[in-house]
């Protein structure tokens, strides 16, 4: 186990089940990536959906006994007639959302990624994606965000499960601002969608929702030719910070791409990285098998050879620990990403 | 029998003669046999146990509008036991949802009509099914939509008795009562058999009335092959709106209408050919006779 004592203990997980709005529980106000507490974005899911629902009576929100944790209580307060708590019955919630969608509603069903993206795979495939219904599956606390709550609450396999489902849009929210973009754009987007969120207070990447956001169109955040770091979700911040470390310490200039949409994948952006930059590193808070790295590899097999490596959680059940300690252990913080990038450039590993 | 053709079906509880309904149930059985021959296999007996229920719902009771399949105020029907679709497709065609000739290509490459039904391909079908245990949850969502939209449509969900072993059914049953979905009606085709044997031997589902009542539902138990009983139950449903959901437990005979299939495990999926095919067609044409097996009764015996 690596990491400073502060990193190991500086993660307050007491608010996970009651949400970030419970200020009394925020005794140690410090985000896991070292962002000052004043910059921690609130979990905007409930607030943004409530705003969208003000002018769109098709929107409904469902959750499974986690209204506080995912802040859909804020939707409930404004639109109580369109809010449904299904209790601890996720499969019923997902299929009922499909029934609502078949009657003209746009339901957002939110619960922990470990349950939505793993327990409910068949309901998502058969009831939401196969009939091409506009169900929005909001999977929060993905990856190892649940830290010491353990493997049952980690979701390191959900992207692999979701991206093989035909017609299902799979997207990771980088931060609160991009989540707002996703939610707004989702309203009139056809078909079912899996929206993967981190902890809900991931460090900011965007100052405001990017106005040119489109599903399936990656966002290039930094230019560089020495390598491209393709990251998704909460790892985009780590990738950007890693790029700064590489530039300052080693003179390595990295292109950084926010590959928010895992399916459909922005193949052109990957092909451009293979053509224009000297190496490619993917970074994700997911098992390295089956997620973003695998998706990028599927594109690269048809490109000219380029040094390539996948960075994420190795093919194992993650350790238990406070999130900050886990990110450090698996090298999913800025220093870890920078270290992996250097290693890729030094060995020229083709990583295939 | 041309009674009821071209009639407006946008009101519930239409005055249709039992003879006409019996003829339409016969039609569903005959078509099941014809379509299964095209496919080379079919769920005969699961379709036959539901023939009278299908006919009563679609020709007499449900508020539908085949000229406008997506009419927002239509009553919904979810065939949770999707493997009985072979008996429902012909009724949808007969009502005018689509051209009957399309069924001649049943299950062939590229057909809209598979053994389990696809709502994106079959006009008049309110939801896709096939994976057992999902339908009642779909119905819960649809009934909640009705409430949000202030519409008074009913949502009917036909469940097989074997699929009651699926846990999601009981999640849905719990939520239907919790959300006071008085517009929701579950019809349980209690034909007594699942694939491996009698339900009570494989995974017991009784006592059904007590179980649904314990989950906060109204319950009724009827003979699912008796039109008088079926229509009386449907007429006795509470007005759509807030209230208890209703479970109609319809005691039926799997394979009803074909003596060699009644209560027979071998005919869950089968393929009639040659003389057997002709004999079964003739038997169905001659009309329902008293069942060859003992009515399994309220305790599934």
Residue A172, SS3? strand
Q: Domain check: are A250 and A187 in the same one?
A: no
User: Domain span at residue A236?
Assistant: 219-347
User: Rounded distance, CA B200 to CA B102, Å?
Assistant: 39
Nearest CB to B148; choose among A102, A105, A127: A105
CB contact under 8 A, B134 and A86: no
For position B292, what pLDDT does the model report?
Answer: 79
The stretch A50-74 carries a mean pLDDT of 96
Could you tell me if B242 lies within 8 Å of chain A, comparing CB atoms?
no
Q: Which residues pair with B184 in a beta bridge?
A: B155
- A103·B141 Cβ contact <8 A: yes
Contacts of B176 in chain A (CB under 8 A): none
Residue B299 DSSP code: T
Here the ipTM equals 0.95
Q: What percentage of chain B carries pLDDT values higher than 70? A: 95
Give residue A15's pLDDT band: very low, low, confident or very high (50, 70, 90). low
Q: Are residues A99 and A245 in the same domain?
A: no
CATH label of the domain that carries residue A240: 3.40.50.920
CATH code at B65-253: 3.40.50.970
Residue A34 has pLDDT above 50, yes or no: no
Same domain as A249, residue A321 = yes
Write down the domain spans for chain B.
65-253
Residues A230 and A178 in one domain: no
Do A265 and A192 reside in the same domain of the chain?
no
- Check residue A4 and give its pLDDT: 33
Q: Examine the pLDDT at A67 and tell me if it is beyond 80.
A: yes
Question: By the 8 A CB rule, do B148 and A82 touch?
Answer: yes
Of the candidates A57, A86, A123, which has its C-beta nearest B134's C-beta?
Answer: A123
Secondary structure of residue A63 in the 3-state scheme: strand
Q: Quick one: A62 and A145 in the same domain?
A: yes
Comparing CB atoms, the residue among B118, B141, B178 nearest residue A95 is B141
Task: Kindly report, residue by residue over A131-160, the tens digit of the pLDDT.
Answer: 999 999 999 999 999 999 999 999 999 999
- Give the closest-approach CA distance of B148 to chain A in angstroms: 7
Q: Are B300 and B205 in contact (CB under 8 A)?
A: yes
| Minimal CA separation from B122 to chain A, in Å | 12
A91 vs B contacts (CB less than 8 Å): 137, 167-168, 171
In angstroms, the CA B202 to CA B224 distance is 22
Instruction: Check whether the bond before A291 is cis (ω within 30° of 0).
Output: no
- Looking at the domain assignment, is residue A202 inside a domain? no
Question: Which residues, given as ranges, of chain B have pLDDT below 70?
Answer: 1-6, 294-301
Query: Residue A113 above 60 pLDDT?
Result: yes
Residue A309 pLDDT > 50: yes
pLDDT at A128 > cutoff 90: yes
Residue B138 contacts A, CB cutoff 8 Å: yes
Number of structural domains in chain A: 2
To the nearest 10 degrees (0 to 180), the angle between helices B18-39 and B85-95 is 120
Across chain A, mean pLDDT equals 89
Closest to A73 (Cα-Cα) out of A33, A42, A34, A118: A42
> How far apart are alpha carbons A11 and A30 in whole angstroms?
7
Q: Mind telling me how many Å the CA of B32 is from chain A's nearest CA?
A: 25
The answer to whether position A77 is within a domain reads yes
Q: Which two tokens stand for residue B287?
A: 């009309």
CATH (domain of A36): 3.40.50.970
The yes-or-no verdict on residue A73 having pLDDT over 80 is yes
Nearest CA distance, A229 vs chain B (angstrom):
40
How confident is the model over A89-117, as a mean pLDDT?
Answer: 98
Buried b (16+ CB within 10 A) or exposed e, A243-256: bebbbeeeebebbb
What's the pLDDT band for A340 if we cut at 50, 70, 90? very high
Half-sphere CA count of B228, side-chain side, radius 13 A? 0
Q: Give the gyration radius of chain B's Cα atoms.
A: 18
Residue A73 lies in a domain: yes
Res B6: pLDDT: 54
pLDDT of residue B255: 96
Query: Could you give the percent of chain A with pLDDT greater than 70?
Result: 86
A37 has a pLDDT exceeding 80: no
Q: Are residues A33 and A165 in the same domain?
A: yes
- DSSP label at residue A171: E
- The verdict on a CB contact (< 8 Å) between B141 and A102 is yes
Structure confidence at residue B293 (pLDDT): 79
What is the mean predicted confidence (pLDDT) over A305-330? 95
Q: Determine, for residues B171 and A130 on separate chains, whether the beta-carbon distance falls below 8 Å.
A: no
Q: Which of B118, B124, B141 to mutate to test the interface with A (most CBs of A within 10 A)?
A: B141
Q: What is the pLDDT of residue A7?
A: 36
Residue-level pLDDT at A10? 37
Specify the 3-state DSSP secondary structure of A21: coil
Q: Are residues A76 and A165 in the same domain?
A: yes
For residues A110 and A47, state if they share a domain: yes
For residue B13, what pLDDT is reported?
85
- Which residues have CB under 8 Å from B68's CB, separation 6+? none
**What is the dihedral sign for C-alpha A17, A19, A24, A27?**
positive
Q: Are residues A83 and A190 in the same domain?
A: yes
Residues A137 and A242 in one domain: no
Q: Which residue has the tokens 């394979």?
A: B255
What chain B residue is nearest to A135 in terms of C-alpha separation?
B141
Q: Are residues A104 and A236 in the same domain?
A: no
Residue A6 lies in a domain: no
């Amino acid at each position: 186990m690596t990491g400073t004592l502060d990193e190991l203990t500086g993660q307050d997980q007491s608010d996970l089940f009651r949400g970030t709005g419970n200020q009394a529980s925020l005794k140690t106000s410090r985000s896991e990536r070292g962002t000052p507490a004043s910059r921690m974005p609130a979990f905007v899911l409930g607030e943004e959906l409530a705003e969208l629902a003000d002018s769109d009576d098709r929107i409904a929100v469902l959750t499974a006994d986690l209204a506080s944790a995912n802040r859909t209580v804020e939707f409930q307060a404004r639109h109580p007639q369109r809010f449904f708590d299904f209790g601890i019955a996720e499969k019923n919630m997902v299929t009922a959302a499909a029934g609502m969608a078949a009657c003209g509603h746009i339901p957002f069903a939110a619960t922990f990624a470990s349950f939505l993206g793993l327990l409910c795979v068949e309901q998502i495939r058969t009831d939401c994606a196969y009939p091409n219904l506009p169900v929005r599956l909001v999977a929060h606390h993905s990856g190892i965000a649940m830290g010491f709550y353990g493997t049952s609450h980690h979701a390191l396999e959900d992207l692999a499960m979701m991206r093989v489902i035909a017609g299902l849009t799979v997207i990771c929210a980088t931060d609160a601002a991009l989540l707002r973009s996703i939610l707004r754009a989702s309203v009139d987007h056809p078909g079912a969608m899996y929206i993967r969120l981190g902890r809900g207070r991931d460090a900011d990447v965007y100052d405001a929702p990017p106005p040119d956001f489109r599903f399936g169109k990656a966002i290039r955040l930094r230019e560089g030719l020495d390598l491209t770091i393709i990251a998704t979700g909460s790892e985009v911040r780590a990738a950007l910070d890693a790029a700064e470390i590489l530039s300052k310490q080693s003179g390595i200039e990295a292109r950084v791409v926010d590959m928010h949409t895992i399916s459909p994948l922005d193949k052109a952006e990957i092909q451009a990285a293979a053509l224009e930059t000297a190496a490619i590193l993917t970074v994700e808070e997911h098992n390295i098998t089956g997620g973003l790295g695998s998706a990028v590899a599927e594109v690269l097999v048809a490109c000219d050879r380029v040094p390539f490596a996948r960075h994420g959680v190795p093919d194992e059940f993650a350790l238990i620990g406070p999130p900050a300690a886990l990110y450090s252990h698996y090298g999913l913080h800025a220093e870890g990403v920078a270290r992996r990038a250097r290693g890729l450039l030094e060995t020229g590993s083709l990583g295939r | 029998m041309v009674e009821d053709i071209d009639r407006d079906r946008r009101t519930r509880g239409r005055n249709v003669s039992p003879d006409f309904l019996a003829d339409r149930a016969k039609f569903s059985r005959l078509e099941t046999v014809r379509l299964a021959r095209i496919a080379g296999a079919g769920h005969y007996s699961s379709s036959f146990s539901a023939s009278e229920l299908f006919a009563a719902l679609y020709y007499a009771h449900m508020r539908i509008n085949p000229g406008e399949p997506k009419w927002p105020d239509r009553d919904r029907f979810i065939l949770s036991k999707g493997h009985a679709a072979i008996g429902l497709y012909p009724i949808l065609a007969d009502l005018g949802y689509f051209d009957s000739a399309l069924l001649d290509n049943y299950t062939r490459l590229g057909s809209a009509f598979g053994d389990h039904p696809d709502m994106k391909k079959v006009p008049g079908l309110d939801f896709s099914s096939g994976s057992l245990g999902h339908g009642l949850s779909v119905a819960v969502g649809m009934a909640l939509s009705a409430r949000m939209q202030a519409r008074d449509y009913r949502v009917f969900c036909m469940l097989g008795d074997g699929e009651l072993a699926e846990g999601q059914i009981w999640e849905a049953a719990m939520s239907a009562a919790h959300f006071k979905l008085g517009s929701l009606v579950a019809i349980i085709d209690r034909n007594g058999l699942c694939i491996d044997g009698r339900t009570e031997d494989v995974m017991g589902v009784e006592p059904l009335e007590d179980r649904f009542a314990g989950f906060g539902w109204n319950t009724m138990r009827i003979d699912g092959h008796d039109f008088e009983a079926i229509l009386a139950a449907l007429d006795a449903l509470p007005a759509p709106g807030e209230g208890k959901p209703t479970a109609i437990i319809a005691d039926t005979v799997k394979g009803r209408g074909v003596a060699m299939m009644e209560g027979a495990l071998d005919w869950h999926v089968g393929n009639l050919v040659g003389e057997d095919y002709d004999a079964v067609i003739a038997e169905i044409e001659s009309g329902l006779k008293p069942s060859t097996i003992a009515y399994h009764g309220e305790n599934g015996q």
